[in-house]
Amino acid sequence: MGDTFLILDQPCDEAIAWLTRQANSIGLQVMRTFDLQVARQAHTECPCPHHGTDQCDCQMVILLVYAEGLQPSSLEVHSHDGKSWFSLVDTPQQRADPRLEASIQRVLISKGVSP
């Protein structure tokens, strides 16, 4: 995974809604492809190492970001305790398009708080 490039003092759903609005404002499309809280609904006895089972607000979401004519890039969002961290997935198996990466970081970092 890539390095964290954006931190927002917002819970995950609010941060993702903000990110989606920012991305849409420059013509990018965002789609949620994985949601940890949805996935763990089938595993109610799985305790959170940070908060316990009932009080857990930990979240991990994978977003696909699309731009016309480019391969989509994946963003990983981690969140807990009212804060969200964004990282761009850039591995040998899944390379981020540098043009899309630059667009994502330019619009988001200008509006958020970089680490």
Task: Report how far residue 64's alpha carbon sits from residue 108's, in angstroms, rounded to the nearest whole number.
Answer: 15
Q: What is the pLDDT of residue 114?
A: 46
Taking only the tens of pLDDT, the chain with its 115 residues reads 568 878 889 999 999 999 999 899 999 999 999 877 777 677 666 666 665 656 667 888 999 999 999 989 999 999 988 899 999 888 888 888 889 988 888 877 765 544 4
Q: What is the pLDDT of residue 58?
A: 81
Q: Judge whether 17 lies within some domain.
A: yes
Q: What is the pLDDT of residue 63?
A: 94
φ/ψ of residue 20, rounded to 5: -65, -45
Query: Residue 47's beta-bridge partner residues?
Result: none
Q: What is the pLDDT of residue 111?
A: 59
Q: Judge whether 115 lies within some domain.
A: no
Task: Report how far residue 7's alpha carbon sits from residue 81's, in angstroms, rounded to the nearest whole number.
Answer: 13
Domain count, the chain: 1
Q: Judge whether 39 lies within some domain.
A: yes
**Cα end-to-end distance, the chain, whole Å:** 16
Q: Judge whether 86 lies within some domain.
A: no
Q: What is the pLDDT of residue 104?
A: 86
Q: Judge whether 92 lies within some domain.
A: no
Domain around 22 = 4-80+98-109
